[in-house]
Homo-oligomer: A and B are copies of this chain.
Amino acid sequence: MKLGLFGYGTIGRGVYSLVENIKKKYNLEMKKVFDLPTKKEILGDKLVTDINDIIFDEEIETVVEALGGHDVPYQVISGCLKKGKNVITSNKEVVSMHLEEFLDIAHKNNCSFLFEASVGGGIPIIRSLIDNTKINEVNDIYGIVNGTTNYILTKMSDENLSFEEALELAKKNGFAEANPTADLEGLDGVRKINILSSLAYQGNISNDDIYHYGITGIDKNILELVKKEGYVLKFVASSHRNGNNCIIRVEPTMVPFGHPLSAVTNEFNAIMFTGSTNAELSFYGKGAGSIPTASAIIADLVSIVEKRSYIEYKNANKLVVNKQDINPNEYYVIDRTGKAKFESNVTDEHLQAAKFYARVIK
Contacts and interface: CB of A to CB of B under 8 A. Distances in A.
Interface of A: 18, 21-22, 121-124, 127-128, 131-132, 134-136, 258-260, 262-265, 275, 277-286, 289, 291-292, 294-296, 298-299, 302-303, 307-308, 310
B292 A278 contact: yes
Given A121-B278, A135-B299, A277-B292, 19 more contacts: A18-B277, A21-B135, A122-B281, A123-B281, A124-B131, A124-B281, A131-B302, A258-B265, A259-B263, A260-B263, A260-B284, A262-B263, A278-B291, A278-B296, A279-B286, A281-B284, A282-B283, A282-B284, A308-B308
Contact of A299 (B123, B131, B307): B131
Contacts of A132: 299
A128 B135 contact: no
Contact of A122 (B123, B279, B295, B303): B279
Nearest to A293: B278
A293 to B, nearest CB: 9
Nearest to A278: B122
A264 B260 CA distance: 7
Nearest to A264: B260
Contacts of A259: 263
A147 to B, nearest CB: 12
B18 A122 contact: no
A10 B83 CA distance: 50
A136 B298 CA distance: 10
A259 to B, nearest CB: 7
Nearest to A123: B281
Contacts of A310: 308
Contacts of A135: 18, 21-22, 295, 298-299, 302
Contacts of A18: 135, 277
Minimum-distance CB pairs A-B, first 10: A122-B278, A282-B284, A278-B295, A308-B308, A281-B285, A277-B295, A278-B292, A279-B286, A260-B263, A135-B298
A295 B275 contact: yes
Contacts of A121: 278
Contacts of A258: 263, 265
A218 to B, nearest CB: 21
Given A283-B283, A284-B282, A128 B131 contact: no
Contact of A295 (B21, B136, B295): B136
A180 B294 CA distance: 44
Given A18-B135, A124-B128, A308-B310, A279 B263 contact: no
19 contacts: A121-B278, A122-B275, A122-B281, A123-B281, A127-B131, A131-B299, A131-B302, A132-B299, A134-B302, A260-B284, A275-B295, A278-B292, A279-B286, A279-B292, A280-B286, A281-B285, A282-B285, A283-B283, A308-B310
